[in-house]
Amino acid sequence: MGTSDDKMVRVPKDMYDAIGEIIKKYPQYGWKGPSEFVRDAVRRYVDELRRREIILKRAAEAMPGRVKDILSRFMGPEEASEAYEEIKKINERDADKFIQEAVKVLKKYVGEALAEIIARRIVEERINEGEYRY
Amino acid sequence: MRASTGIKNLDEIVNGGYLERSFNLVYGAGGTGKTLFTMNFLLSGAERGEDVLYVSLEESWDDITHKIPEGMRQRLSKVKSKFHYLDFGSLRPILGKEVLQAEVLIEAITSSIMVHRVKLVGIDGIAPLSMFYEDSRRVRSAIFDLSQNLKSYGVTTVFTSEEVNGLSRYGVEEYVADSVIRLVYDGRVRRLLILKMRGANFIGGAHGFEILNNRLEVYPRRMALKAHREITAEGLDIPKLDVMMGEIYGGDVVLITGPPGTGKSIFGLHFIKGACDRNDRAVFISFESDVPKMKRKMKEMGGNMERCSFFYVDPVGIDLYKLLWKVKGVTENTKRVVIQGVNTIARNPEYHEFIHELLQYLKRSGITTMITYTIPQIISNNTLGDDSVAYLADDIINLRFAEINGELKKILVIIKSHAPTHDRGLIEYRIGRRGIVIVGRIEEMEGVMSGTPTRQVEIKKRVEKFFK
C-alpha cells in the first residue's frame, strides 16, 4: 500500500501493458499489481548496482597484489614489482576508474588485450568469492 | 647483417647466421633439443650484450629452467638482466586459453620488445595455439600475423614446432619461415638438417648435432677445404722399405691392408715415430687397440713420446661427424696421422662420406696419413678391403701371410706408389722388438699371393721329369 510520501513515476503505455502481461504470466511471484512489480524490479536493480560496486571495490583492493602475483609468474618478479608499485600509486577512490587506470599501467607491460584479460580475471575471482553484505 | 645462431660451426655453414629481422623455424620430434636450441640462441645473444626475450607457450618457465643442463643454467644466471621471458605456459591455467590468441601474443611480445629494446626473440612450442584456434587455417593465419608483426619490430626470431609425419605441426610454418632447421634424434646420434635458409648458400644434408652441458655443437658433414700446401718429401720411416717404396709426399694417404697379426699397427707406430723423432707432432687414432698398449709398444721401439698423441675411439655407437671434427681439432699443427682399423666403422651408413671428407681435409692440410684396414681372410685374399679408402689412397701396401718351408711368413706387396720405379717384388718382413725388419725379396718362389707358394726350381724339375 502507498503512503502520502510516495512519488509518482511515469512509464510508457507499452511498458505498462508489458508489465501487466508478465504479472498474469507469472502469478507464482505474487505481484499484486504493476506498482508492486516496479518496486520489486527497482529494489533488485539497486541491489545489483551495490553488489557490482562492492565487487569492483574488492577487485580494486586486490588489484596490485594479484597483478604482482600473475606478472611474477608471467615475466619475473622484477617487472611484477615495478607494475605493483605503479598500480599502488594510483590515486583514485572510484573503484571502476581505479581499475581502468590499473589496466593502463598493465598495458605498458603486457599489451592492451592481455591487460584487459588480467583485469577481468581479477574481477571474476571476486565474483566467485560469493557473499556480498552491505 | 646476420644474427648468430649461437653455434659457431652452424654460423659458418649458413653464411654467418640468420638474416636480421627474420622469422626462423626449428622443428623436430620430442626430445630432439628444440627448447635448448632456442635457449642457446638467446643466451649467446645476451652474452654479446643484446636484450633477448624467451616466450614459452607450452611449458612453464620454472620447468624449463629446471630441465636445462647445469652449464646452461649457469650461463643464464650470468646474463639475467639481459634475458627476459614471457611465460604463457603458467599464465594459461590462470587466465584460460584466451591468452593464446594471436592478438594477445603479439601485443604482449611487442610490448616487451619495446620496453626492453629486445633484439632476439625465441618462441618455444606453438602447439598450444590449436587450443584457441581449432581450425588449422586460423592457426596458420595467426602464425603469419605473428611473423609479420615481429619482423616489423626489427627482431630476429626463432620459433619451434613439433614434427608430425616429417613436417612441422601445421605444415605452414615452413612457408612463413625465412629459414627451416629440422632436428632428429634416433636414440643414438643427433642430426641437424638445414632445409631452407634465405639469403645464404648453406651446406645441406644431415650434420652432426650434440647437446653439451653448457652449449650446443654442430659438426658439419663438410669441412672447409684449405689451399693445397707446398709439396714436401715424406717416408714411412721403415729402413729399406722407404727405398723400395720410392717417393711419398706430404698430404699423401697411405693405405695398409692385411689380415690380423700382420703388423699393420706396427707400421703405423713406425710412421708416427719417424715424425716425432724429428720433433714433429704426430697423432695415432685407434678404433682397435687400447692406448696404453700402443704407448708401451712405442716406448719399446724407442719413440719420442712427447711429440706423439694417442687417442682411442670406441667404434660402437660413434657419431662420425663428431669424430670428423675431433680429428680436425687434434691434428692441428700435426705432420702425420695414423688411423688404425677403419674397417671397424665401415658398416656405419655415414662411413663413406666421413672417410672421404676426413681424407680430403688431411690431404689439403698437408698431413700425411696412414690408414690401416683389417681384412678378415688370413690367407689368399684378393681384395684391398674397402673401396671408400682405396680410391683416395696415394700409396697402398698389402700385407699377407704365406706358407714357406712350413712356416707362416709375413709378406708385403707395394700395390701402388707415386714412384713409377717402386719395388714390384714380394718382400718378406718380420716383426722384432724394435718394430718392422725388412728381410728382403722372396726369390725363386711362385704363387706367394695364393698363400701356398712353390719353388720355381722344383717346378722346373717336375716339368723336366714329365718330359723324360
Give residue-wise pLDDT tens across range B70-123: 999 999 999 999 999 999 999 989 998 888 888 999 999 999 999 999 999 999
How close B123 comes to chain A (CA, Å)?
14
Q: And the C-alpha cell for B366?
A: 698437408
Give the DSSP letter of residue B45. H
How close B54 comes to chain A (CA, Å)?
10
Report which of B12, B1, B86, B92 is spatially closest to residue B42, judged by C-alpha positions. Answer: B86
Three-state DSSP at B232 gives coil
Q: Are β-strands B426-432 and B407-416 bridged in parallel, bridged antiparallel, or unpaired?
A: antiparallel
Region of poorest pLDDT, from B143-152, B353-362, B373-382, B428-437? B373-382
* pLDDT > 70? residue B448: no
Instruction: State the Cα–Cα distance between residues B223 and B2, nearest whole angstrom.
Output: 21
Instruction: State the Cα–Cα distance between residues B464 and B247, nearest whole angstrom.
Output: 43
Helices B291-300 & B264-277, crossing angle to 10 degrees? Answer: 60
Dihedral, CA of residue A102, residue A103, residue A106 and residue A111, to nearest 10:
-170
Report which of A110, A54, A57 is spatially closest to residue A82, judged by C-alpha positions. Answer: A110
Q: Cα-flanking dihedrals φ and ψ of residue A6, to 5°? A: -60, 150
Q: For the beta carbon of residue B127, count every other beta carbon within 10 angstroms.
A: 15
- Cβ atoms of B24 and B159 within 8 Å: the answer is yes
pLDDT of residue B451: 64
Q: What residue type is assigned to position B364 of the chain?
A: R
Interval B5-47: pLDDT, tens: 999 999 999 989 999 999 999 999 989 999 999 999 999 999 9
Query: ∠B41-B120-B184 over CA atoms, to 5°?
Result: 35
ipTM of the complex model: 0.80
Mean pLDDT of chain A: 92
Contact B107 A108 (CB under 8 A): no
Instruction: State the Cα–Cα distance between residues A8 and A4, nearest whole angstrom.
Output: 11
Give the DSSP letter string of A27-54: GGG---SHHHHHHHHHHHHHHHHHHHHH
pLDDT over 70 percentage in chain B: 91
Tell me which CATH code domain B2-219 carries: 3.40.50.300
Q: Are β-strands B206-211 and B216-219 bridged in parallel, bridged antiparallel, or unpaired?
A: antiparallel
Contacts of B197 (CB under 8 A, 6+ apart): B14, B15, B178, B179, B180
Strand partners, A120: none
Which of B84, B90, B111 is closest, CB to CB, to A110? B111
> Which residues in B57-115 belong to E strands, given as ranges?
83-87
pLDDT of residue B422: 85
- Cβ atoms of B221 and B205 within 8 Å: the answer is yes
Interval A2-59: pLDDT, tens: 688 888 989 999 999 999 999 999 999 999 999 999 999 999 999 999 999 999 999 9
How close B64 comes to chain A (CA, Å)?
13
How close B28 comes to chain A (CA, Å)?
26
pLDDT of residue B34: 96
Q: And the C-alpha cell for A57?
A: 571495490
- Cβ atoms of A57 and A122 within 8 Å: the answer is no
Strand order from edge to edge, sheet including B253-258: B308-312, B282-286, B336-340, B368-374, B253-258, B395-404, B407-416, B426-432, B435-441
Which of A73, A112, A117 is closest, CB to CB, to B99? A117
CATH superfamily of B233-457: P-loop containing nucleotide triphosphate hydrolases (3.40.50.300)
Instruction: State the Cα–Cα distance between residues B280 and B336, nearest whole angstrom.
Output: 8
Instruction: State the Cα–Cα distance between residues B351 and B339, nearest whole angstrom.
Output: 14
- Cβ atoms of B169 and B161 within 8 Å: the answer is yes
Q: Binning pLDDT at 50, 70 and 90, where does residue B3 land?
A: very high
- Cβ atoms of B436 and B263 within 8 Å: the answer is yes
Region of poorest pLDDT, from A74-83, B320-329, B457-466? B457-466
pLDDT of residue A40: 94
Three-state DSSP at B442 gives coil
Contacts of B99 in chain A (CB under 8 A): 114, 117
Interval B404-435: pLDDT, tens: 877 888 999 999 888 778 888 889 999 988 88
Mean pLDDT calculated for residue range A62-72? 95
Q: Structural domain boundaries of chain A?
A: 13-49, 53-129
Q: Please check whether the two domains, B2-219 and B233-457, share a CATH topology.
A: yes
Mean pLDDT calculated for residue range B177-206? 91
Q: For the beta carbon of residue B413, count every other beta carbon within 10 angstroms.
A: 17
Q: Structural domain boundaries of chain B?
A: 2-219, 233-457
Q: Binning pLDDT at 50, 70 and 90, where does residue B403 land?
A: confident
Please tell me the pTM assigned to this model. Answer: 0.82
Which of B61, B98, B110 is closest, CB to CB, to A111? B110
Nearest chain A alpha carbon to B109: A110
